[in-house]
Amino acid sequence: MTPLHEGRNYPKNLLPIVGIVMSCLLATQVLAADKKIPRLSNGKPDFSGIWQSTSAADYDLEPHSNRKDAPPSAGSVEGEFLPYLPKALTQRQKNFATRATDDPALKGYTLGVPRGIYYPEPFQIFQRKQDLLLVHQFGHSVRTINTNGTDHPKDPYDWWLGDSRGHWEGDTLVVDVKHFNDKTWFDRAGNYHSDALHVVEKWAFLDPNTIEYKATIEDPNVFSRPWNISVILYRHREKNFQLIEDYRFTLDYDDNYPPKPNKP
């Protein structure tokens, strides 16, 4: 057998360098294979899995020192603070003062958007070509993001989780969410919105097990301009991790059931 390179005159001192370059290329390829994001059969990114944020966003979206009901955090908002209209800021301060009783999450209310995404409980995404189904462990509430080319309904209600219509911009899922009610908060610090809330979400893989979630939030009744948040979502990779029903709004009355034998 004749070696392929026979007759070619490679300088011998370059061979080790070629070797290093080759192995680097190989390593990069292996790394790239590792980082290959999951995709549906139609080629779109597949976000199926169980996700959760480790951020302190649910305690308070804005920067804050430690306090008894929250760890300190530099916040999750671009520009640090929410651009409240003066009157709305007063309401926010009232909400903050009564947060220990008035936070809708404490009553077991559906968390809304985007709070459900960064609330410290897992949620599971079930994805098909035409939609994504988000099941939040908290309240086991279900949100559908339509990716079937449909638009918001012409005769909408006000919904807890709004109406979500998504489309793909490259590998980023962009979701327009509106038609909300005014009964949810953004966090347990009393940051809030009206039923004019409009959220535009952007979901993109940073790597196969990490999603960067961004949202632009506007509400002309409460804020002077749109503002942005960003949180990272991590895939639950614990062995056999699974959602567990958490219908906590039933806890206030479920002791009445089931029937039990009369005590003698």
| Chain residues that interact with other proteins, rule: CB under 8 A | 41, 48, 104, 107-110, 124, 126-128, 133, 135, 139-144, 146, 148-161, 163, 181-183, 195, 240, 242-245, 247, 249-250, 252-254, 256-259, 261-262
Nearer to other proteins by Cβ, of 3 and 149: the residue is 149
Nearer to other proteins by Cβ, of 73 and 144: the residue is 144
Closest approach, Cβ 216 to other proteins, in A, equals 22
DSSP-assigned beta bridge partners for residue 172: 169
Containing H/E element for 207?
A: strand 198-207
Nearer to other proteins by Cβ, of 92 and 143: the residue is 143
What is the distance between the terminal CA atoms of the chain, rounded to a whole angstrom? 96
Nearer to other proteins by Cβ, of 28 and 150: the residue is 150
Nearer to other proteins by Cβ, of 42 and 90: the residue is 42
User: Which two three-digit tokens encode residue 240?
Assistant: 């056999």
User: Is 99 within 8 Å of 116 (Cβ atoms)?
Assistant: no
Rounded Cα distance between 260 and 136, Å, is: 32
User: Which two three-digit tokens encode residue 57?
Assistant: 């966003």
User: Which two three-digit tokens encode residue 54?
Assistant: 């480790």
Per DSSP, the three-state class of 118 is helix
Amino acid code (one letter) for 194 = S
Closest approach, Cβ 254 to other proteins, in A, equals 5
Closest approach, Cβ 74 to other proteins, in A, equals 32
Closest approach, Cβ 94 to other proteins, in A, equals 17
Closest approach, Cβ 104 to other proteins, in A, equals 8
The secondary structure of residue 2, as a DSSP letter, is: -
